[in-house]
Structure 1
Amino acid sequence: MSNDWRLTITEAIKRPLFQHAEVVAGHRGLARPVRWVHVLETADTGQFLNGGELILSTGLGFGGAKEKRLAYLAELIRRKASGLCIELGEYIPAIPADMLEMADHHEFPLIIFHQPVRFVDITQDLHEHLINRQMQALRDLEAYSRGLQQLSLQAASIPKLLQHFQAAVQTQVLFYSPDVAAQYVPVLPHAVQVEMNELMASLFAEEDTRDASVRFHPLSMTKQLVYQPVMAMGHLLAYVGVILYERDADEYMLLALDNTVSAMAQFFMRKMFAEEQARVMENRLFDDLIADRPMTEDHMRTLLGLSGSVKTVSYHTLIVSCEKSEPAAEGALPPHELTAIYRSLLTRQGFLPFIRCMGHRFYFLLIEPKPRADSRRALEKAWADLKRIAVQMLGADTQIRCGIGRVGKRLSDAGRHLAEAEQALTFQRDSSSPFFSDLGLFRLLFHIPAEPVLDHFITDYLGPLLAHDEKHGSALTQTLHVYLNANLSKQAAAEQLFIHRQTLYHRLEKIAELIGDDFASPERRLCLEIALHAQQWLQKEDKALPRY
């Protein structure tokens, strides 16, 4: 199978029309590929070169003038032409030493014709040869893609896909993922594998996970690594690459690499979705937690499939809500399709994840098998990555919110911590933090029964204001809330309410008339603030009931 679209100068000079040609300089550049053939007599027209052209010339434009011929040759080198063919004759009977020296210095092939030759014949011959090669490469690429498709239908493993890729490109290929063992075809010595694994691990950690394009990484002066990420739903899964020695990647190789990467992504997606289908016990666990059914420690470990050797250092509960501002369009990606990607992402970040998707919500139980120096930072990173993938796959019009419960130690308390995550999710509409531990006063309200304790407390302190607002359509309750939050600053409260200060004075007088003029005293103020927060929380709870 051909694995090069292009023709090298070495191959070109073996064509019949070059039988009287001789390479006189730049022998080390004969492996350069020829993209096209062009007749060029002066340096002034070098601007029309794109690079990779084999130039034909009679010397008409530069002749025997030293400055002109060196400027001409320098322009070809600067424009990245592949080489220069000169027909010896009237304009240039022999190649001067200065041209030979410059060509050798830049490893730029310089070829002479000892006998006259028709440039039109050379152009036609090489162009036909190039086009035929490209057509053959396209046919080879199509055959390669069909082979990949057959392997995919046979549920072939990663080694099979790599072997198929290596047979097509005929060079060293590799597969790297932080989740499974790296693979090399052909097999490399152990010391080289260790070195390459360390390099790939460093590249993996530094890469922009949103970019799926091919990367080029020099390994030495003559060797380079060409690799491409395997992506699925915005999540980086692995790398597939080739190691090239004294050559560049051609179009055929890059297209074969891209096709292989796509096949790898499909392989991973099928594997992950098959694993998701088998997680019946995990779903049952979350159903029990959401329903707040009491469970023993042993029962929890059984449902999670945790053997006695797996120690639970600590765990975290998260709830992520993905709500569309408008009804989802037909054919839109359903949220549960992200479950496998989320599992892979969280596993890579050091968690043992258990996930349940219900409607537009994800429920997470993240076990930390090993203690961390900063669990909160790890959770913040996990939440940022979960949100990024959700927005990327579900659309920018999706509102992504998260609630995170306190750190858990006993699995039997997971239901309580999941309820904490639910409360944190409720308040994340107005809070910059998704953590239950940052809710402050709301944490106390969470443990007070709404009926009758909170309802009676709110009525006792805010009842007259709420009744007045409902009857007259006023905003006295909101005014009191803003005024207290502004630390009794009338100017700040008026600015936040977008009203004149005189209007605020009238409202405060009415508030004092309804609930007493001592409402700003420390004890009354504290009770009023608690009542205002409690009322706000109960209103949000009514709006935030989960929909399945």
Structure 2
Amino acid sequence: MQATLTVSELLKRKNFEHCEVVAGKEGLERRIKWIHIVEVPKVEHLLKGEELILSTGVGWKENEEAFSSLLQQLITRNVAGLCIEIGSYTKSIPSSIINLANKHKFPLILFHQEVPFVEITQDVHTFMINAHYEILARLETYSRELQELLLATHDLSDLLSHFHQYLQETVVLRLKESTTHIFPPFQQNNSKQWSIIHKSIIDDTYTESKKISKKIQVLGKEYGELYVVVKNRRFTEENMLALDRTALAISQHFLRNLYIEEKKKRCENEWLREWIRGEVSLPNIFHKLGKIDGLHNYEGGGVFLCRKQEGVMWEGASFSYAKLLLTTLFEQCGFLLCITEYRQNILFVFVNKRQKQTWRDRFTQSLERFKKSEAYEKHAKLFSFISVGSFVDRLDEMEKSYKTAQITADICSEQVSSSETLFFHDDLHIYRILSLISDQRALHEVIFEYLNPILQYDKTYNGKLFDTLKTYLACSGSKKETAEHLFVVRQTLYHRLAKLEQLLGEDFMEPRKRMALEFMILAYEQIFIKKKEEKFPQCSEIEG
């Protein structure tokens, strides 16, 4: 049962016993989605297409030009047909109107006796509503059966066979890896049948059969396309809805397989940990990656990490989904991504499969796309701090990338703005030097030599000279910008700068001394402010 009628089917229903089709007999197979009563000459903007129009002709009466204009509007809007009651307002149909309707195969139907339009609309609308209800009931049953099959089987063929039985039409699933499933199956030597199906799918101009299709997508990745091929009939709304439901079930099938693969990967965690500790040889790395990815041509890689935080969920189905999505997004941008947990960190080992020169842009693109997903929103706190180690050319040097990712996390967790979320070791610059020498006593002495005068002044008088110096240097000596950043008036800033000249010397903005001061400020923050429990050493402690 379909939720629409053709014009020819409508003519067999009640109130159409004495009607006459005076034009457009070749268009009687037009479909009717709804019925409207129209008595105005300008209706084009009110129509959606495939309506059947009922009218007494009061809108144009004997005005042939107005009648012609109305008919042209109906034809333009792909209306199913026009029914006119001959009587008080319309005595006859001009030949020009009949010719126009015939030209466009537009059904023109006359009622020679008075008919109750309200009964026609009630009859047809009731039929359509009931038909819609039956379709929805069948689709609900079909969807439930699909879900039951999905839980009971691991074979795509069962889903496709059920779809074919429901539609009684040819069903084709073309997957990206060039596998094609066809139902009902046919003999391999039946080249004629295969030719028809093949042309129906790839050739939009092929007229012997028609097709509708739906892409199969999982986590933004396209796996293939599902087709329905029919001959000698048009597609119905039910066909479209059944196609959508089946495509969704097939997507769920692939998503389930991804979850199974994810579970298998968890068993490989120990191998990944050995890899980032530098305990796996290069041949073994290639062998293992070949089994996972099927390729052996890699262009370096690296490690990035997220640190586990107390109270932040990083397990369960939603986190598994987040990892699946990340893996898929990185794959689309040319990376193989392996994920493991190690020493209170979530580690992501990425292997580059494209040109090395573009790795960083593609890496950033993958994470930006992930941030737009619901999976990211659910785990935003976990991914709020991502540190990326150095990119390594050799995959057996992944330990170096892991260690630099740790260094990046240690440095940036205290030294960067909370609005930032992604940090590359290659961008640390001066902080990389500080991380190498932060344990040297000599550096402590130099920091004390440069900064102790203003630190002691701040401790005694709360003069805020350290913050003033830091901001003044960051603003390249601009007094106006410095005052704005510190939220002080110019006079207050001038007084502080005069005190800085007194304590540091009038030449403290001379290029070499300025560079040294900037370095000492960074070193002081890196070594002492970061370790809040550690006091800045006094002069006696340094000298002793």
Pairwise TM-score range, normalised by the shorter structure: 0.7 to 0.9
The answer to whether the 8 A contact 1:297-1:412 is kept is yes
Report if aligned partners of 2:24, 2:108 keep a CA contact under 8 Å in 1. yes
Give the Cα–Cα distance (whole angstroms) in 1 for the partners of residues 69 and 53 of structure 2.
Answer: 15
* 1:514-529 mapped onto 2 (5 Å cutoff): 514-529=503-518
Give the letter for the 1:71 counterpart: S
SS in 2 for 1:318: strand
**Residue 479 of structure 2 is aligned to residue 490 of structure 1:** yes
How far apart are residue 351 of structure 1 and its match?
Answer: 1.4
Distance 1:412 1:72, change over 3 A: closer
Match of 1:202 in 2: none
Superimposed CA distance per residue, residues 288-311 of structure 1 (whole angstroms, 9 cap, x where no aligned partner)? 57xx74424349728955469724
Query: Number of residue pairs matched?
Result: 516
In structure 2, give the amino acid aligned to 1:488: G
Give 1:337 shift.
3.5
- Among candidates 22, 30, 33, match of residue 32 of structure 1: 30
- What does 1:404-415 align with in structure 2 at a 5 Å threshold? 404-415=388-399
State the 1:46 CA deviation: 7.6
Tell me which residue corresponds to 2:100: 102
Q: Alignment partner of 1:434: what SS? A: strand
Q: TM-score, normalised by structure 1?
A: 0.76
Give, in whole Å, the separation in 2 of the partners of 1:171 and 1:295: 57
Secondary structure of 1:364's match?
strand
Inter-partner Cα distance in structure 1 for 2:145 and 2:240: 17
- 1:403 and 1:409 mapped to 2: Cα distance? 19
Any conservation in 1 of the 2:210–2:229 contact (CA below 8 Å)? yes
Cα offsets for 1:253-286 (capped at 9, x unmatched): 4443443344344333322222111123542255
TM-score by length of 2: 0.76
Cα distance, 1:339 vs structure 2: 0.4
* Uncovered stretches (5+) of structure 1, i.e. residues with no partner: 200-217, 544-548
Assess, with a 3 A threshold, how the Cα gap between structure 1 residues 269 and 22 changes in structure 2: closer, same or farther.
Answer: same
Per the alignment, residue 375 of structure 1 pairs with: 359
**Aligned equivalent of 2:190:** none
* Mapped contact 2:307–2:382 kept (Cα < 8 A): no
Q: Is the 8 A contact 2:218 2:254 kept in 1?
A: no
- Residue 137 of structure 1 and its aligned partner are, at CA, apart by 0.6
Larger Rg: 2
Q: What is the rounded CA distance, in whole Å, between the counterparts of 2:356 and 2:205 in structure 1?
A: 35
- Match in the other structure for 2:279: 295
Change over 3 Å in CA distance of 1:341–1:455 after alignment to 2? farther
Residue aligned with 1:409, SS: coil
Could you say if the C-alpha distance between residues 285 and 486 of structure 1 is closer, same or farther in structure 2, counting changes exceeding 3 Å?
farther
How far 1:341 sits from its partner (Å)? 1.2
Counterpart contact for 2:483–2:490, Cα < 8 Å? yes
Match of 2:142 in 1: 144
Match of 2:63 in 1: 65
- The amino acid that maps onto 1:284 is E
2:7/2:28 contact within 8 Å kept = yes
Q: Give the 3 Å change call, closer, same or farther, for CA 491–49 of structure 1 in structure 2.
A: closer
When residues 386 and 36 of structure 1 are mapped into structure 2, their CA distance, relative to the original with a 3 A threshold, is closer
- Aligned to 1:363, what secondary structure does the other structure show? strand
- The residue aligned with 2:469 is 480
Note if 1:363 corresponds to 2:361. Answer: no
Residue deviations 1:296-355, cap 9 Å, x none?
A: 43497289554697244311322357989xx77999985453001111222222212112
In the superposition, relative to structure 1, how do residues 314 and 473 fare at CA in structure 2: closer, same or farther (>3 Å)? Answer: same
Give the deviation of 1:381 after TM superposition: 1.7
Q: What is the alpha-carbon distance in structure 2 between the residues aligned to residue 45 and residue 309 of structure 1? A: 63
1:82 aligns with 2:80: yes
Matched to 1:136, the amino acid is E
In structure 1, give the amino acid aligned to 2:145: G
Q: How far off is 1:88 after superposition?
A: 4.7
Gap change, CA 1:169 and 1:373, over 3 Å in 2:
farther
Question: Which residue of 1 is the match for residue 120 of structure 2?
Answer: 122
Aligned-pair CA distance for 1:81: 3.4
2:335 maps to 1:347? no
Which residue identity does 1:260 align to in structure 2? Answer: T
Deviates more, 1:506-515 or 1:406-415: 506-515
1:440 paired to 2:425: no
Inter-CA distance 519–46: structure 2 relative to 1 (3 Å threshold):
closer
Task: Show structure 2 runs of 5+ residues with no match.
Answer: 186-192, 533-544
1:454-505 Cα offsets, whole Å, 9 max, x none, are 5555444334444544555443222222222333343443333232333233
Q: Tell me if structure 2 keeps the 8 A contact 1:322–1:399.
A: no
Backbone CA RMSD of aligned residues: 4.5
